[in-house]
């Protein structure tokens, strides 16, 4: 089946899979968003325990998706893996460290004889929610803005700064995306808590926080979108494989691939609809905002990732040597590897079906203070 596809088609297929994983990861960051709200929504009990247990049942989703994203990059686009993960390692280590703090915190926060104390682990969770989301956004931002690397004729990578990825924090576009994802994660977490937690006081607080975070998110996100759409982008000549700068490259991608622009607009509208839903008079419908915003987040991020890989676009530019920049064609695995991995990818629908089934089981009833206090396995 996959043997009939051309090499270019296989590369495009695997960039689609990478894009789906990237979009899923950003949506799953609602867990980190909830953790960043500990000191605003969860100042007192039982609201704190309700929050942590509602999002804690899914704390591993973002971590697992991040690992799968990295593994898929290693299998399908190994040159990117060796360049970014191997060159900008301080940035990726920072992200990984905060996720390790998260895993440890959920495991030990409520354990007997916890010598660090619950407050310490709550602080760790907050750090993961703050630093983890912003750092991940900055890392994704480098797909647009590039990194300080050079490849030689043997594809050996040299990183030209001693910061090894941390210099990405000095780029305003990266920071705009980083803070966009941070506040988007908080919005998704608020909508999720409004949907899953049965507590009137937490609901009222969440409604107030939603407006504040939505307003700040829109400022950062719209600034990022205008910055990339109205700025220069990196393109590659399909014949000579030479990389060059193009004005309005990403905007042109949305115009030349209209389905991509439509997908992006649908995603943005759904996110805005999800934010507006809690303010409707129908309270039952008002708790469904997470579904609109969740799908909207997925479609929006998916469109941005596809915009990076399709239409002869560079998805990881080099700021030192433009011709060292990475595209889905020069960074991919061999045709044979992509074919084998494509057959493996046929298992993905079964994994997704299991996740959907598990998710539906968890959503059958809302979290209450009485249920948390009586549970022996509460976080």
Domain range list for the chain: 2-202+314-374
- Cα separation of 213 and 183, whole Å? 6
* Number of residues in the chain: 379
| pTM of the predicted model over 0.75 | yes
Residue 50 has pLDDT above 80, yes or no: yes
Mean pLDDT, the chain, as a whole number?
Answer: 88
Contact 287, 278 (CB under 8 A): yes
Looking at residues 43-65, what average pLDDT do you find? 80
More confident residue, 270 or 354: 270
pLDDT tier for residue 77 given thresholds of 50, 70 and 90: very high
pLDDT tier for residue 376 given thresholds of 50, 70 and 90: low
- Cα separation of 308 and 46, whole Å? 44
- Amino acid 362: pLDDT: 62
User: What three-state secondary structure class fits 106?
Assistant: helix
- Amino acid 135: pLDDT: 95
Can you read off the two tokens belonging to residue 350? Answer: 């079964």
Model pLDDT for residues 235-246, shown as the tens digit of each residue: 999 888 899 999
Among 108, 143, 164, 167, residue whose Cα is nearest residue 26: 143
Q: Residue 46: is the preceding peptide bond cis (ω within 30°)? A: yes
Which letter does DSSP use for residue 84 in this model? I
- Cα separation of 228 and 248, whole Å? 8
- 163, with CB counted inside 10 A (0-12, 13-18, 19+), is middle
- Cα separation of 235 and 209, whole Å? 41
How many CA atoms are closer than 13 Å to the CA of 248, on its beta-carbon side? 6
Strand segments, DSSP code E, in the chain are: 149-151, 157-159, 232-236, 243-247
User: What three-state secondary structure class fits 88?
Assistant: coil
- Amino acid 51: pLDDT: 83
More confident residue, 185 or 56: 185
Residue 52 has pLDDT above 80, yes or no: yes
pLDDT tier for residue 108 given thresholds of 50, 70 and 90: confident
Model pLDDT for residues 334-350, shown as the tens digit of each residue: 999 999 998 988 887 77
Which letter does DSSP use for residue 323 in this model? G
More confident residue, 326 or 56: 326
pLDDT tier for residue 363 given thresholds of 50, 70 and 90: low
- Amino acid 199: pLDDT: 76
Element at 188 (helix H, strand E) = helix 172-196
Query: What are the residues whose beta carbons fall under 8 Å from the beta carbon of 80, sequence distance 6 or more?
Result: 73, 315, 316, 326, 331
Query: What are the residues whose beta carbons fall under 8 Å from the beta carbon of 164, sequence distance 6 or more?
Result: 87, 88, 89, 90, 91
User: What three-state secondary structure class fits 177?
Assistant: helix
Residue 63 has pLDDT above 90, yes or no: no
Model pLDDT for residues 228-280, shown as the tens digit of each residue: 999 999 999 988 889 999 999 999 999 999 999 999 999 999 999 999 999 88
Instruction: Find how far residue 368's CA is from the centre of its chain.
Output: 29
Among 313, 77, 24, 318, residue whose Cα is nearest residue 188: 24
Among 166, 168, 167, 148, residue whose Cα is nearest residue 158: 148
Can you read off the two tokens belonging to residue 125? Answer: 């969770």
Model pLDDT for residues 198-228, shown as the tens digit of each residue: 778 888 888 899 999 999 999 999 999 999 9
Looking at residues 172-186, what average pLDDT do you find? 97
pLDDT tier for residue 374 given thresholds of 50, 70 and 90: low
């Amino acid at each position: 089946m996959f043997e009939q596809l051309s090499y270019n088609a296989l590369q495009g297929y695997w960039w689609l899979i990478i894009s789906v994983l990237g979009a899923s990861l950003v949506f799953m960051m609602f867990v980190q968003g909830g953790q960043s709200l500990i000191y605003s929504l969860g100042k007192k009990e039982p609201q704190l325990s309700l929050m942590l247990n509602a999002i804690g049942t899914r704390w591993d989703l973002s971590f697992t998706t991040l690992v799968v994203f990295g593994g898929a990059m290693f299998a399908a686009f190994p040159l990117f893996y060796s360049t970014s993960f191997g060159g900008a390692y301080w940035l990726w280590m920072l992200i990984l460290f905060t996720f390790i703090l998260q895993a440890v915190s959920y495991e030990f926060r409520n354990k007997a004889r916890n010598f660090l104390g619950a407050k310490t682990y709550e602080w760790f969770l907050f750090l993961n929610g703050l630093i983890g989301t912003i750092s991940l956004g900055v890392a994704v931002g480098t797909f647009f803005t590039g990194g300080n690397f050079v490849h030689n004729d043997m594809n050996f990578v040299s990183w030209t700064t001693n910061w090894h990825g941390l210099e990405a924090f000095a780029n305003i576009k990266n920071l705009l995306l980083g803070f966009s994802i941070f506040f988007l994660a908080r919005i998704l977490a608020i909508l999720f808590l409004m949907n899953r937690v049965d507590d009137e006081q937490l609901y009222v607080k969440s409604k107030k926080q939603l407006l504040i975070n939505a307003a700040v998110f829109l400022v950062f996100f719209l600034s990022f979108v205008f910055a990339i759409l109205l700025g220069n982008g990196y393109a590659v000549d399909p014949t000579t494989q030479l990389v060059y700068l193009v004005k309005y490259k990403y905007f042109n991608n949305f115009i030349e691939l209209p389905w991509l622009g439509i997908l992006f607009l649908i995603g943005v509208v759904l996110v805005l609809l999800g934010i507006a839903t809690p303010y409707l008079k129908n309270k039952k419908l008002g708790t469904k905002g997470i579904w609109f915003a969740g799908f909207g987040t997925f479609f929006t991020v998916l469109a941005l990732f596809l915009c990076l890989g399709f239409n002869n676009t560079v998805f990881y530019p080099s700021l030192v040597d433009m011709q060292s920049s990475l595209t889905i064609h020069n960074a991919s695995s061999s045709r044979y590897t992509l074919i084998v991995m494509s057959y493996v990818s046929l298992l993905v629908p079964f994994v997704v079906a299991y996740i959907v089934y598990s998710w539906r089981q968890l959503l059958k009833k809302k979290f209450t203070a009485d249920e948390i206090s009586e549970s022996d396995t509460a976080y």
